[in-house]
Amino acid sequence: MAQGDFWNLAGSGMTLAHEKISGLSLWRAKPSIKPLDGGMTNANFLVTEGVRRYVVRLGEDIPFHHIMRTHELAASRAAHAAGISPAVVYHEPGVLVLDFIEGRTLTPEDLDEGSLRERAIRRIRQAHRDIPVKLQGPAPIFWVFHVLREYARLLSDGDSPHAGRIADFLKITAKTEARSGPYDIVFGHNDLLAANFLDDETRLWLIDWEYAGFNTPLFDLAGLASNNDFAEDMEKDMLES
């Protein structure tokens, strides 16, 4: 069970989440806590203290998904410094508190619209270029071929019913990795769902840096296209941009 599933459980799980958030040393008054939708590998809450609002993310490391919260924290800070993501207000193990952004969460249908899609592509380009300049500490990497090999080992060790197919999948992985280079390396978001874009009508924000790390830019472009059902002409426009 992923940590996000645990914190989103009804009853005792939700009570634990509220107790965890209420007990943070950040607060000067009793906060109001409301769960937010989304978050398969974490649980998100809208927290109001006085006139200020925050997003609190609860989640532990998930090594088999290559999610390390210290990497998420560093990427979130660098993304804010680059003007791409909201500010980190507070953190402790398993907890990340961010400024709340009043805006609209995008959907795949929103990205059908040309000008909004171009704004999203410009924001991704900015992330690729500017976040490495702001990043501090050890350099995280997200290399999809390594992740796939790790998943294959996990399935083999777990006696998966699909174990007989793993060797063929690994051959495809190796062939694809060999044919995909040479690679440019940028700092990738690596989880480009439409829901990770927020539009406040002035700025398009990019959030949720769990999978962030140095990578080929093609992975973000492929993720943007596949996660949001781009038609072929939209893919061509994206690549030309």
Contact criterion met (CB below 8 Å) for 135 and 78: yes
Superfamily for the 3-99 domain:
Phosphorylase Kinase; domain 1 (3.30.200.20)
Window from 2-6, 214-218, 222-226, 228-232 with minimum mean pLDDT: 2-6
- pLDDT, one tens digit per residue, over 65-86 is 999 999 999 999 999 999 999 9
Arithmetic mean of pLDDT over the chain: 92
pLDDT band at residue 187 under the 50/70/90 scheme: very high
Residue 12, pLDDT score: 61
Q: Tokens in use for 142?
A: 């997200």
Whether pLDDT at 21 is above 90? yes
Whether pLDDT at 38 is above 80? no
> In whole angstroms, what is the distance from residue 171 CA to residue 177 CA?
10
* CATH architecture label of 105-241: Alpha-Beta Complex (3.90)
pLDDT band at residue 2 under the 50/70/90 scheme: very low
Domain assignments of the chain as residue spans, ordered by start: 3-99, 105-241
- pLDDT, one tens digit per residue, over 139-162 is 999 999 999 999 999 999 998 999
**Phi, psi dihedrals of residue 141, rounded to the nearest 5°:** -135, 140
Q: How much is the average pLDDT of 16-26? A: 94
> In whole angstroms, what is the distance from residue 34 CA to residue 51 CA?
15
Q: How much is the average pLDDT of 96-111? A: 96
Counted residue by residue, the chain has a size of 241
Q: What is the pTM of this model?
A: 0.91
Nearest to 42 by CA among 79, 78, 73: 73
**Phi, psi dihedrals of residue 88, rounded to the nearest 5°:** -80, 120
pLDDT band at residue 11 under the 50/70/90 scheme: low
Distance separating the N- and C-terminal Cα atoms of the chain: 40
- pLDDT, one tens digit per residue, over 162-174 is 989 999 999 999 9
